[in-house]
Amino acid sequence: MSDPSNTDVTREQAEEAVRVLLRWAGEDPSREGLLDTPKRVVKAYGDWFSGYTEDPGEYLRRTFEEVEGYDELVVLRGIEFESHCEHHMAPIIGRAHVGYLPDKKVVGISKLARVVDGYARRFQVQEKLTAQIANCIQETLQPRGVGVVIDASHECMTTRGVHKRGVSMVTSQMLGTFREDARTRAEFLRFIDIDGH
């Protein structure tokens, strides 16, 4: 990955694995167009899976308490992300919507997007990704409640297997008042334009 000290696999071994896959697919890794492909693939993997080298909760540890008593919903919607399915290593492309009810402190909104990326840049299943984001926000910020909704397209289903395009999967995780209070949940879903219809 991007930090070789965290793994016992060398960059050279990773590049050789790409050459093996190219040969397995019927290609010649020594032909001109593919000579640098192993290096490029390993570099891309370093970017795509950089979430393994970071702690998403760290982004939420710097908070602001001077908010003039603000205690209403905070929502960041439409956070675009790219992830990869842990079953087929195929892309998952989607949007996350994150909301929380602060309890005396708020966090910079870009930090919420960084939490999404921190978990998305790992091999994932969408249900786990949704829960990880919500749990991280709940455990680190300790708000009165958290809501996370993810709407994503899975290339493992659109480009192979059943080949169904235009299909997206929606998952949600509601914690605290988002789970306990139907009005809070409904307000969050209204904010992100998802009302159950």
The catalytic residue among 85, 142, 155, 187 is 85
CA–CA separation, 29 vs 6, rounded Å? 28
Q: Is 136 annotated as a binding residue?
A: no
The one catalytic residue among 84, 138, 154, 173: 154
Among 88, 142, 155, 187, the active-site one is 88
Q: Is 88 a catalytic residue?
A: yes
154 assigned to active site: yes
Active site residue 136: no
Q: Are 21 and 31 in contact (CB under 8 A)?
A: no
d(CA 178, CA 182): 7
Active-site residue, 197 included? no
Q: Binding residue per annotation — 84?
A: no
The single residue of 86, 142, 155, 187 carrying the catalytic annotation is 86
156 annotated binding-site participant: yes
Q: Which residues of 109-128 are buried (b: 16+ CB within 10 A; e: fewer)?
A: eebbbbbbbbbbbbbbebee
Question: Given its phi and psi angles, is residue 27 left (phi above 0), alpha (psi -120 to 50 degrees) or beta?
Answer: beta
Residues 19 and 37: their CA atoms lie apart, in Å, by 8
Residue 85 is among the residues annotated as catalytic for this protein:
yes
Q: Could you report how far apart the first and last alpha carbons of the chain are, in Å?
A: 42
DSSP-H helix ranges across 121-181: 126-141, 155-158, 177-180
One of 87, 127, 139, 180 is an active-site residue; which one?
A: 87
13 is catalytic: no
Residues making up the annotated binding site for Zn(2+) are 85, 88, 156
Residues making up the annotated binding site are 85, 88, 156
- Which of the residues are catalytic? 85-88, 126, 154, 156
